[in-house]
Structures are given as structure tokens and as C-alpha cells.
Chains A and B, each alone.
Chain A
């Protein structure tokens, strides 16, 4: 390959990365505030994580180790394609082990393994504006953020309780950051909400189509919104993992046949595999299969 055929490190040109880094720094300085940025066209469709990819490209260095997860799994289409993308354009090391990664791009989950200082968690965000479905005017929602008028967010929770008897919002559950900005944590299950606050790692949120970046610096105060008489509750399926027997992890429900058979298993594949390698077994684990 001649020099001209090569991509710049991590695909984006240096000026673009500089612009994105400025947006990230601003986001870190004002936790929860949505910073507009000039999102670029990426070689993948909107909705596939163009925002997250641009943020990852801007923070990656050649020494980094990258992990990409989609709904907790390392082996799904979105995760595999983005991981391959950065293998080809940045040549960085990739891994599926949460503890080995320095940058983790994620869609819809936070890894079960607690993250540590020095790690960066990059979220792919479809709609960054938590007030969007209640107030469609962007000019108005910006004003509401500026003036801290968040009564409307509780109207949504009120509607949930009046219709379902409890707060039925189970993902993209709105949070208040440092007592100031109300933020959409991207469509993570509300099971993951408690992990957002006081996390040791840096959390960056990128929305490519909506052209917004926001961030949570380490050890930020994040509170899930609720009512006094209907407090926030992190929920998961009332089962244990069929493969590794974990009781504390977020579970996926997998249909296994057309006769009503189903399997609950950890959505975080790395967590599940490392537990099985450590000798844990769930009730559905095939007896004679050899652990990888």
C-alpha cells in the first residue's frame, strides 16, 4: 500500500478530531450538557453508532486497546463491524475482555465488571434530548435546559404510573447530573443507571445524526428521576443466568426452540464467559460441553 492509500490514524482527519476533542472537553467541563459538534459522514449508516465511532476515533491513541460491545455482546454485527473498522483504520489492539480494554465503545449496556480509572466508556446515542418526545421544539428544549425547567420530565413519569401503576420506562431512563442537567443516558436498561454515578471511568456520549456530544467525568453525581412515593428501582429479569449462574447480572431472554423453550443468560458475554472459565455453571449449561 502506498502512503496515499492509507487512512489517517483512526479514519478521521486531524482537524476533525481536534474539533471533536474540543466538544468532548467542553462536555466534560459541563457534565450532562449537550455540546453541538459538526458530525461527519461516516462509512456506515446513521443508527449504527456514527456518533460513538467519531468520539472513539477522537480519543484513540496507537497504544490503546479497544473493546466494542453491542447490547453487552462482543460478537454481534454492530460490535464486530466497528471493531474491524478500527482494526483496519487505526491498527489498535482489540480485545473482548473488559479489564484489558482502555477504550470501550458500547451500545445499550454498561459492562458488569466495574470500570477503573483510566478507562473510557463511549456510548452510541440515538436521541440525546430527553425532552424530545414531550416537547418537539429544539428551541424550547434548549431554553428549558438553560433555565432548568424540568417539570415536564416528571409528566412523562406521571403518565407511566397513571397508565401502568408503576414507572414503566425501562430503558433510556432520565437522570439528573450534578443536580443540574437532565440527561438521556442513551438506551441502556435502567438496571445500569446506578452504575452511571460515581464511576471511575470517563463516560462520553456521541450522537452522530443529532450532532451532539455530552459527557460524565469520573465520580460524577448522577441521580435517576423519580417520585417520593414511587422511587426509582433498577430492574432485571427475575432469573439467574442459565449459562454461568450469575444472580446479579442483566439478563437477555433467548428463545431456544419453537415449543416455548427459553434461556435467560447474561447480556454481557465477556462477564458470562469469564465466570464459566472460573468454573461457575448455570442450570442450563450443557453437561458435556467443554468450556472454551
Chain B
């Protein structure tokens, strides 16, 4: 089986400071990979390198494209990469405001990716947008409201709908539950788990919340100071952490 995404030796430095160093892994179709670590451990740098927002200093990110098979996204042309990022890829930002157009209605936000890939029938776009709003549990009568009138949890769900409407195969998530209160987090995780399973999505989730990866991720990488210190099946890593830092991380979780 060809991996959907194959990351080889990704390194990114900011001057002499290491963002992430020599990270390699394979992600297979339908698999969810969690990346955990403390603030400043290089999780987001790694994610941005993979999603094409940052150019890594070394290494390759090979994506199994629909048309041409495995292709290095670091060296592919910018139009190709941007095309990928609005069709086969999705990126869920930590802050919904970064990923939404706040001056455009919810329907317009969801429809943007459809129009970007050439959809030109208003009725179809609107039907799909309404359908997706309902799938992320936003009432369809809010389709013409702007995201500024939505709560934080709704904005996050709207961002997810906007990203998934074109049926991507790979979703990058940067702290998707950050800044939400626990009950809203729980609902969002439930929703994400359902969507990932139903659509057979592959996902890479960056978070510092171990509960999130416990629920969503099949596999886990623990990062510290820009390097991967431990990797393995989620339950294995969380129940029997081997590296000193992983042990610290797991034992730091508050028990209620």
C-alpha cells in the first residue's frame, strides 16, 4: 500500500534556533496521526512545513496525488501546491478567525472552495453549503448569517465544514479544540471523529491536549525541542510511555 503522505527528514531552522529537525514518518490512507508536545516543541512548524505554509530547509513531503501518484510537494510548482491545498488538503486553524472570511456569510464561506474549483451554479453551491452546515450541527437557517454572529464553537465547526466540502483526503489540524470550553470540545471531538470515520479521511492533528489524541488518533508522535522523541500506537504511548519526556507529559495530565 502506498502511503498517502510520506515525510522524510524534514528540517526547519530559524537562524540558529531549531524549529524541527529530521522528522520522518509515513501516513497511510484513513489513518489519523497525532503530534503532541509542549509549546515551542516544533509541532506547528512541522505542520506548516507539511501543509506548504513554510518551506523546509531540508527533507521532502511526498503526497500521493490523484493524477500523478506520489509527488514531492516541497519542490512542486506553486500553482500545483495551491491547487492541492484547496482540493485534496484541508487546514483547520486553531483560531477559526484565521480560517474563515469574517465578512462573508456562512454559506459563502462554505461555498468558497466549491467556487474556487469551478462550481458555477448558485443553487447547487447553496444546497451543498446548507447540507454541510447541517452535518456540522449548524442550523440551516443560519446560512446567511456572518460568522461574527456565531459562538466560538460554531465558528470552529463552520471552519471544518468549509474545509471538508470539497471532499479532501488529508486534513491538517492545528489545535482544533484550543480555546473552547470542555463541553463544546467534547461535542467537536465527537463530530470530528464521526466525520473522519465516515469520510475515511486521513488527518494529522497537532495538539498539546492528550485527551484529543486519545480520542482521535491512531498513532502518536511526541516532540521535544524540535525532535521526535517517541512514536507509536496512541494507546501504547499513552499507557506505557518509554521516553522520560513522554512519561512527564502523561503524568502531567490532571485527573478530575
A associates with B: yes
> In whole Å, how far is B115's beta carbon from the nearest beta carbon of chain A?
4
In this assembly, does A142 line the interface, its C-beta being within 8 Å of a C-beta of chain B?
no
Bound form: Cα–Cα A227–B144 in Å: 18
Interface residues of B in 124-160 (CB under 8 A from A): 125-126, 143-144
Q: Give the secondary structure class of B's interface.
A: helix
* Total A-B Cβ pairs within 8 A: 53
A162 x B107 contact (CB < 8 A): yes
A155 x B115 contact (CB < 8 A): yes
A152 x B107 contact (CB < 8 A): no
In this assembly, does A262 line the interface, its C-beta being within 8 Å of a C-beta of chain B?
no
Beta-carbon nearest neighbor of A153 in chain B: B115
* A152-B116, A158-B108, A158-B122 as given contacts; A163 in contact with B144, CB under 8 Å: yes
Bound form: Cα–Cα A229–B143 in Å: 19
Q: In the complex, which of the residues A134, A147, A158 contacts B125, with contact meaning CB atoms closer than 8 Å?
A: A158
Bound form: Cα–Cα A152–B101 in Å: 11
* A147-B79, A162-B144 as given contacts; A229 in contact with B123, CB under 8 Å: yes
A159 x B122 contact (CB < 8 A): no
On chain B, the number of residues with a Cβ less than 8 Å from chain A's Cβ atoms is: 23
A149 x B126 contact (CB < 8 A): no
* A149-B82, A151-B115, A158-B115 as given contacts; A229 in contact with B121, CB under 8 Å: yes
> In whole Å, how far is B34's beta carbon from the nearest beta carbon of chain A?
32
Interface residues of A in 118-150 (CB under 8 A from B): 134, 147, 149
* A149-B116, A163-B144 as given contacts; A158 in contact with B121, CB under 8 Å: no
In this assembly, does B42 line the interface, its C-beta being within 8 Å of a C-beta of chain A?
no
Per-residue B-contact encoding for A221-262, CB less than 8 Å = 1, 0 else: 000000111100000000000000000000000000000000
Per-residue B-contact encoding for A34-78, CB less than 8 Å = 1, 0 else: 000000000000000000000000000000000000000000000
In this assembly, does A161 line the interface, its C-beta being within 8 Å of a C-beta of chain B?
yes
Bound form: Cα–Cα A147–B78 in Å: 9
Query: For A162, what are the chain B residues with a Cβ–Cβ distance below 8 Å?
Result: 105, 107-108, 126, 143-144
Query: For A154, what are the chain B residues with a Cβ–Cβ distance below 8 Å?
Result: 115, 120
B115 x A159 contact (CB < 8 A): no
Bound form: Cα–Cα A134–B144 in Å: 17
> In whole Å, how far is A207's beta carbon from the nearest beta carbon of chain B?
24
Per-residue B-contact encoding for A246-287, CB less than 8 Å = 1, 0 else: 000000000000000000000000000000000000000000
In this assembly, does B60 line the interface, its C-beta being within 8 Å of a C-beta of chain A?
no
> In whole Å, how far is B40's beta carbon from the nearest beta carbon of chain A?
28
Query: For A149, what are the chain B residues with a Cβ–Cβ distance below 8 Å?
Result: 82, 116
Beta-carbon nearest neighbor of A135 in chain B: B101
Beta-carbon nearest neighbor of B118 in chain A: A151
* 5 smallest beta-carbon distances between A and B, as pairs: A151-B116, A154-B115, A227-B122, A151-B115, A228-B121
19 A-B pairs with CB atoms under 8 Å apart are A134-B104, A147-B78, A149-B82, A149-B116, A151-B115, A152-B116, A154-B115, A155-B108, A155-B112, A158-B107, A158-B111, A158-B126, A159-B105, A159-B108, A162-B108, A163-B105, A163-B144, A227-B121, A230-B122
